Structure 1
Amino acid sequence: MKVLGACPLDCPDACSWVVTVRDGAAVELRGNKEHPITRGALCVKVNRYLEQVDSPERLRYPLRRVGAKGEGRFERISWDEALGEIAERLTGIVDEFGGEAIWPFHGTGSLGYLQGLEGYAGRRLFNVLGASLHKATICSIAGTTGLKYTLGGSGGMDPEDFAKSELILLWGTNPLTSGHHLWKFIQDSGAYTVAIDPIRTKTAERCDEHLAPLPGTDAALALGLLNVIVGLGAQDQEYIDTHTVGWPEFRDRIAEFTPDRVAEITGLPVASIVALGERIARTRPTAIRASQGIQRHAGGGMALRVLACLPGVTGDWAIPGGGLHYSTSGHFKLDEPALLRMDLLPHPVRTLSMTRLGEALTEIDDPPVKALFVIAANPVGSNPDQNRVRAGLAREDLFTVVLEHFMTDTADYADIILPATMQPEHLDVLAGYGHLYLVWNDPAVAPPGECLSTTETFRRLARHLGLTEPALYDSDETLAEQLLAGYDTARLRAQGFLKITPQPVPADKLQFLSARALAAGHDPLPGYTPPADPGDGLVLISAASHYFLNSTFGANPELRRRSGEPRVTLHPRDAAAREITDGTPILIANDRGSFEAVAEVSDRVRPGVAATTKGRWAKLSGGSTVNATIAERDSDYEGGAVFHDNRVRITPLRASADVTDSAASAMR
């Protein structure tokens, strides 16, 4: 038997897949050949997904903590015991502190609308309890907000139109590692490709040209390219006059960013800036692909504003194969209010920022966070300021419930662990943020042990709490129908995927001068916001791994073997200045924390920049990871994360016993 499903992981491709079931077991997983994006291929990570499903390390029964927080010692209990204890603790917390003392902390371990997706799963129950709202700031919020200031929405161009492009700028993105299906359309185009990235990634190696600006200077580079284009008189004046607002003011802003000034900011040669500007000026259509990493710094939202303006100046927004693709999420018009049911809140409640977890758990006291539900998330592995997050999770007065598949670094701090189903075991609906397809996931096999879907877990918890609101007991099928109101659900389920009709881009006129940004207290004109890390040393980028997806697969034995030991890449000049050679054990540290790795000396990174990958589990990596060095600090818009606005000191571990001792202390 073959069952249609969909990959739930935090990747733009949201692949449609086919599960082969034999004697009740999933025996094969393949990409759906019929899906126009997936085209039968999955990635190197998801090809091993059934290993995750069948892993002997998978959690199969509810557990209660019996050791100290962080030790990871638990005993098996029944579902009735687990839910009974949770209900009792939540009732007491609500009575004493109010519902806002409960924080449902959602991650991107599943992007399914029913079983995961940053704030959807369980939200109805938490609304009835009056719990705090969860603001998903860790991924793309700054860039999305910036695009809305410029375009009126954040949908961008249809990625399939990259096949029609003549020039493609891959700006701060590495699709061969993160969302490789786009590469097929790039190849189909035959376009001249330019990678703009401080690292010579797998993608950059395949491009016709590679520019390596200093991290966080992308907006300045884009303004410099516009300066060249306007200097040549190559702007599309007809498009500007008809479809934009604020051109005279923005033209003056562009004039400030001469190639000489931009070269000083970005560290790029003047000739490279001028040459690329001239190429853009004479090439239609030009398409830009920018992904989430480009906006994880102090000026991340502003960077996306400027990038969205570039095809407004050249008129590429009006040409198939031209424009900007960041995320297609803004094109999907699902009935999210019907799914979330915010009307069930008894009163307005506070909102807590995902990337400020450590601060919230250690400082907020009005009311304090007394109960934390961790859903599809591993904040010890994925959040900034790892040591502060651990300190918060170690509070004895914090009641922590974790819904999980494996004993992650975060699960070690739980009071109760609830075993969750995986994708072949439950129903779900997904929307790709790298394409325009809804994807349906049917359950293919029964879950192992006593694993329950997230939706069923919250239905049962509602019963233990004695809640009578009918909406808390809607079936998964009913939830899907409510979400998909207006779409052909029967066709979607039968075919496994359904392409939607995109929204117009820009939504109205492109806003070179944004009244919406001004009303929010920001510069009404797109500009350049410099990096803001006050530390010294090298700028450390923690990019996506080819073998892990965030911290998913971080414990998979084969993928860990392929990824090798933790490494940090330094330019030969920076390595020599620190007496570091290839293979040297090193300590990477700043005032927030430290971690250990092995040096890789290579010109794949530019001088002044060091690079590593995210997604490792701390307890499998010497006790600490790169996130111990990253600040709980907001970017320019909506509290976005600043993972790539991070300065560190790098020293050989052999240089000083004191350095080694300090590293061990930081990991405790």
Structure 2
Amino acid sequence: MGAAVETHCPYCSLQCGMRLEGRRVPEVSAWEEFPVNRGALCRKGWSAAGLYGGRDRLTSPLVRDRETGEWSAVSWDDALDRVAAGFRAARADRGPDGVAVFGGGGLTNEKAYSLGKLARAALGTSQIDYNGRWCMSSAASAGIRAFGLDRGLPFPLADVEEADVLVLVGSNLAETMPPAARHLDRLRERGGRVVVVDPRRTPTADRADLTLQPVPGTDLALALGVLHLLVAGGAVEEDYLAARTTGWPEVRESVAAWWPERVERVTGIEAHELRAFAAMLAGSPRVMVLTARGAEQHSTGSDTVLAWINVALALGMVGKRGAGYGCLTGQGNGQGGREHGQKADQLPGYRRIDDPAARAHVAGVWGVDPDTLPGPGRSAYELLDALGTPGGPSALLVMGSNIVVSAPRATHVTERLESLDLLVVCDVVMSETAALADVVLPVTQWAEETGTMTNLEGRVVLRQRAITPPPGVRSDLDVIAGLASRLSSVPFSTDPEEVFAELGRASAGGPADYSAITYDRIRDEGGVFWGGERLFAESFAHPDGRARMYAVEHRGAAEQPCADYPVHLTTGRVLAQYQSGAQTRRVRSLPDDGPFIEVHPLLAARLGVDSGDPLRVSTRRGTMSAPARVVPTIRPDTVFVPFHWVGANRLTNDALDPASRMPEFKVCAARLARVEEVAQRPSPDPVARA
């Protein structure tokens, strides 16, 4: 079989180490020495090799006839020539911004970097963003404002075990990152306590000492109430705040009105529970707060994260080992994916694209005039919303994203994709988005290529090629270089190690500086932390070394329940599936029960439904039907739908956070009905879709 290759799981931001053996369909075995997971893998990781050998794998470029809808296989030169010609036509018609690029948080650092370079240096377009805008952009925005730097976890994940109290806000760690849940067990074994904040009582709550189930969209008010009680109880570290922060007096004044009874009215968390929570924090020498999508995917997500950062700072915890604040990044390269240029406002190294010095530095590495680089473009949803409109792009390249399933207000986004003159999708299978494309380019999968990823700790790891890709398949780097050679004279390498070295030069001196990291160092050290293993022990990344505290106010969700849409809808993940399901739904050993609608028994009784009965959920943007799943672990005023299948994001709200431009995936107003009743009741809202 040959020697085992050490590599990393293709799924979440843990980037668990694994070994692969075999030439066609490799076998997964444990890599016990890798420190993040020590050989542990979740079910998705153990079955990851099931992605290979499937009959639905794309192995030839395809072109769709718009009149007949039929697909034809073409040569690579023909496909790339067609794409380049289409891009030139769009630019001639609408200027450089007539072409748009949409990337993904699962792309390697090398791909993310090259994709940003393709957009800015070869196409000259400002219209580039990626699906990481929907992952942790609110936490990133808050981290930069508060600390001067965004790195999801500013410490190794294993530090969780050293906390005396761990607060998980909007994270279902046990299902979304199962190998990480062992840290909760070890924390509790040594006497620590876990608090889970989530509208649903998830499997993570089974490991908790205290579970709080707030009304969706009220995590910010909960944080304000906690800080109010910490101030009232004299639990604030005034010396730390005076020495290491600015803005505390304004924050202290802003929480004065958030007494427990007011918080109870807003959040549904009883005042005695809030007091018990605050007392737990006040009496603990090491408190760690970790936020995730449940707190961040809101139109107030950035402010919510700032409010929880204020709690951690007020306790004097940030920079202390086994304590502080962090964000649990979701996608495999959610951290690195936003650091190197596929985000609308950034250049490699987490530099701002509107910074003249940053533009000059990166342009020098690329060998282009800084004045030719475009400025900031539209954020992810705003970019998709503009497709095909007057003044918007008429051509789009998609790499590493299944937009039709993952975008909010997905029916509208699908219409925008269909309005394009040219849609080009790079994928390994005919995903829902690829099925709409004019040209589909078959690309390599995770174990067929080499490249780096940056995990949730800021640890840069190396995925190494373990098997040979099928004939006819090319890497994304080959696609980018092939298009660039047809559209410009800017050189692009297809060798991942060369691209990584160039990325290092482009990022040198930036906030996310990779210039000292090499493939050999990663192999020798089991991964390399950019910026150091632990941040903020001595100072923060602002010029004066102080953290910034911001007074924020609770505004609530952009869409509140009403007579026509009386319940809250929230979305999320399930254990066996990942993201849009384009990969996991094709692994036969993973259970795929399809979508469901989770409801509380009280709500189910009012509707007259039992588990398994067909149920329809509707919002102002769309409707979907699925079997009911009646459980006592969700709030009676809330319903939950997983987003791995087409349907859930037809319902979600496209209201955006003003700072991060994150859509409000996690809450909107909805109504439910038994399927047989729907035809008898007309919609009170003319924009609701049947």
Tell me, yes or no, whether TM beats 0.5. Answer: yes
Residue number in structure 2 paired with 1:519: none
SS at match of 1:181: helix
Residue number in structure 1 paired with 2:394: 370
Residue number in structure 2 paired with 1:209: 210
Once residues 555 and 503 of structure 1 are traced to their aligned partners in structure 2, the CA distance between those partners, rounded to angstroms, is 35
Question: Structure 1 residues 68 and 564 mapped into 2: Cα distance closer, same or farther (>3 Å)?
Answer: farther
- 2:105 corresponds to 1:84: no
Return the offset for 1:455.
0.4
Once residues 560 and 541 of structure 1 are traced to their aligned partners in structure 2, the CA distance between those partners, rounded to angstroms, is 28
Once residues 210 and 452 of structure 1 are traced to their aligned partners in structure 2, the CA distance between those partners, rounded to angstroms, is 48
Task: Please give the per-residue CA displacement for 1:471-504, whole angstroms capped at 9, x wherever unaligned.
Answer: x246322111222421243221355523441332
Once residues 273 and 636 of structure 1 are traced to their aligned partners in structure 2, the CA distance between those partners, rounded to angstroms, is 29
Equivalences for residues 122-201 of structure 1 within 5 A: 123-124=117-118, 127-136=121-130, 137-155=133-151, 156-158=153-155, 159-190=157-188, 191-201=192-202
SS at match of 2:568: strand
Once residues 300 and 312 of structure 1 are traced to their aligned partners in structure 2, the CA distance between those partners, rounded to angstroms, is 18
Once residues 517 and 129 of structure 2 are traced to their aligned partners in structure 1, the CA distance between those partners, rounded to angstroms, is 28
Equivalences for residues 627-638 of structure 1 within 5 A: 627-638=649-660
Which piece of structure 1 moves more, 437-446 or 369-378?
Answer: 437-446
Return the offset for 1:279.
1.1
SS at match of 1:545: coil
- 2:495 corresponds to 1:475: yes
Task: Please give the per-residue CA displacement for 1:571-621, whole angstroms capped at 9, x wherever unaligned.
Answer: 1222223333322211111221111111112221112111121111x3xxx
- 2:552 corresponds to 1:526: yes
Once residues 135 and 473 of structure 2 are traced to their aligned partners in structure 1, the CA distance between those partners, rounded to angstroms, is 28
Contact 1:356/1:632 (<8 A) preserved: no
Once residues 681 and 578 of structure 2 are traced to their aligned partners in structure 1, the CA distance between those partners, rounded to angstroms, is 31
Return the offset for 1:361.
2.0
Query: Which one of 580, 587, 596 corresponds to residue 551 of structure 1?
Result: 580
Contact 1:170/1:196 (<8 A) preserved: yes
Task: Please give the per-residue CA displacement for 1:143-180, whole angstroms capped at 9, x wherever unaligned.
Answer: 22123222222335412211111111111101112223
Once residues 43 and 344 of structure 1 are traced to their aligned partners in structure 2, the CA distance between those partners, rounded to angstroms, is 46
Question: Structure 1 residues 333 and 56 mapped into 2: Cα distance closer, same or farther (>3 Å)?
Answer: closer
Return the offset for 1:81.
1.3
SS at match of 2:310: helix
- 2:520 corresponds to 1:490: yes
Task: Please give the per-residue CA displacement for 1:341-369, whole angstroms capped at 9, x wherever unaligned.
Answer: 5867725355122123552125x422x31
**Aligned partner letter, 2:548:** Q
Task: Please give the per-residue CA displacement for 1:422-448, whole angstroms capped at 9, x wherever unaligned.
Answer: 011112111102x24210122222111
Once residues 246 and 16 of structure 1 are traced to their aligned partners in structure 2, the CA distance between those partners, rounded to angstroms, is 42
Residue number in structure 2 paired with 1:309: 310
Residue number in structure 1 paired with 2:622: 593
Question: Structure 1 residues 503 and 593 mapped into 2: Cα distance closer, same or farther (>3 Å)?
Answer: same
User: What TM-score, normalized by structure 1, do the two folds share?
Assistant: 0.89
- 2:95 corresponds to 1:98: yes
Once residues 48 and 381 of structure 1 are traced to their aligned partners in structure 2, the CA distance between those partners, rounded to angstroms, is 23
Residue number in structure 1 paired with 2:57: 58
Task: Please give the per-residue CA displacement for 1:111-164, whole angstroms capped at 9, x wherever unaligned.
Answer: 41123x4x7536335532212332342221122212322222233541221111
Question: Structure 1 residues 243 and 125 mapped into 2: Cα distance closer, same or farther (>3 Å)?
Answer: closer
- 2:153 corresponds to 1:121: no
Residue number in structure 2 paired with 1:454: 476
Once residues 92 and 43 of structure 1 are traced to their aligned partners in structure 2, the CA distance between those partners, rounded to angstroms, is 47
Q: Work out the percentage of aligned pairs sharing the same amino acid.
A: 23
Residue number in structure 1 paired with 2:442: 419
Question: Structure 1 residues 427 and 211 mapped into 2: Cα distance closer, same or farther (>3 Å)?
Answer: same
Residue number in structure 2 paired with 1:516: none
Task: Please give the per-residue CA displacement for 1:78-97, whole angstroms capped at 9, x wherever unaligned.
Answer: 11111121122222222222
Task: Please give the per-residue CA displacement for 1:526-554, whole angstroms capped at 9, x wherever unaligned.
Answer: 33231111553211111122122111346
Question: Structure 1 residues 661 and 633 mapped into 2: Cα distance closer, same or farther (>3 Å)?
Answer: closer
Please report the RMSD computed on the Cα atoms of aligned residues, expressed in angstroms. 2.8
Question: Structure 1 residues 658 and 61 mapped into 2: Cα distance closer, same or farther (>3 Å)?
Answer: farther
Residue number in structure 1 paired with 2:415: 391
Once residues 17 and 422 of structure 1 are traced to their aligned partners in structure 2, the CA distance between those partners, rounded to angstroms, is 16
The number of residue pairs the alignment matches comes to: 635
Contact 1:298/1:529 (<8 A) preserved: no
SS at match of 1:176: helix
Residue number in structure 2 paired with 1:522: none
Residue number in structure 1 paired with 2:546: 509
**Aligned partner letter, 1:416:** V
Question: Structure 1 residues 419 and 494 mapped into 2: Cα distance closer, same or farther (>3 Å)?
Answer: farther
Q: Which runs of 4+ in 1 moved over 3 A?
A: 327-345, 493-496, 552-555, 557-561, 658-663, 665-668
- 2:569 corresponds to 1:540: yes
- The answer for unaligned runs of 5 or more in structure 1 is 514-524, 619-624
**Aligned partner letter, 1:387:** T
SS at match of 2:178: coil
Residue number in structure 2 paired with 1:578: 607
Once residues 652 and 246 of structure 2 are traced to their aligned partners in structure 1, the CA distance between those partners, rounded to angstroms, is 38
Once residues 554 and 622 of structure 2 are traced to their aligned partners in structure 1, the CA distance between those partners, rounded to angstroms, is 29
Question: Structure 1 residues 345 and 175 mapped into 2: Cα distance closer, same or farther (>3 Å)?
Answer: farther
**Aligned partner letter, 1:408:** S
- 2:276 corresponds to 1:244: no
Once residues 236 and 313 of structure 1 are traced to their aligned partners in structure 2, the CA distance between those partners, rounded to angstroms, is 6
Residue number in structure 2 paired with 1:444: 466
Once residues 345 and 19 of structure 1 are traced to their aligned partners in structure 2, the CA distance between those partners, rounded to angstroms, is 46
Task: Please give the per-residue CA displacement for 1:220-239, whole angstroms capped at 9, x wherever unaligned.
Answer: 11111112222111111221
Question: Structure 1 residues 135 and 88 mapped into 2: Cα distance closer, same or farther (>3 Å)?
Answer: closer
Return the offset for 1:38.
2.0
Query: Which one of 377, 385, 408 corresponds to residue 359 of structure 1?
Result: 385
Question: Structure 1 residues 371 and 653 mapped into 2: Cα distance closer, same or farther (>3 Å)?
Answer: same
Residue number in structure 2 paired with 1:47: 46
Once residues 13 and 252 of structure 1 are traced to their aligned partners in structure 2, the CA distance between those partners, rounded to angstroms, is 39
Once residues 290 and 509 of structure 1 are traced to their aligned partners in structure 2, the CA distance between those partners, rounded to angstroms, is 22
SS at match of 2:225: helix
SS at match of 1:650: strand
Once residues 648 and 104 of structure 1 are traced to their aligned partners in structure 2, the CA distance between those partners, rounded to angstroms, is 33
**Aligned partner letter, 1:133:** Q
Contact 1:125/1:458 (<8 A) preserved: no
SS at match of 1:265: helix
Once residues 299 and 215 of structure 1 are traced to their aligned partners in structure 2, the CA distance between those partners, rounded to angstroms, is 12
Question: Structure 1 residues 635 and 88 mapped into 2: Cα distance closer, same or farther (>3 Å)?
Answer: same
Question: Structure 1 residues 229 and 602 mapped into 2: Cα distance closer, same or farther (>3 Å)?
Answer: same
Question: Structure 1 residues 38 and 149 mapped into 2: Cα distance closer, same or farther (>3 Å)?
Answer: same
**Aligned partner letter, 2:490:** E
Return the offset for 1:660.
10
**Aligned partner letter, 1:207:** A
Once residues 93 and 454 of structure 2 are traced to their aligned partners in structure 1, the CA distance between those partners, rounded to angstroms, is 40
- The answer for unaligned runs of 5 or more in structure 2 is 330-334, 341-347, 352-361, 505-514
Return the offset for 1:182.
2.6
Return the offset for 1:419.
0.1
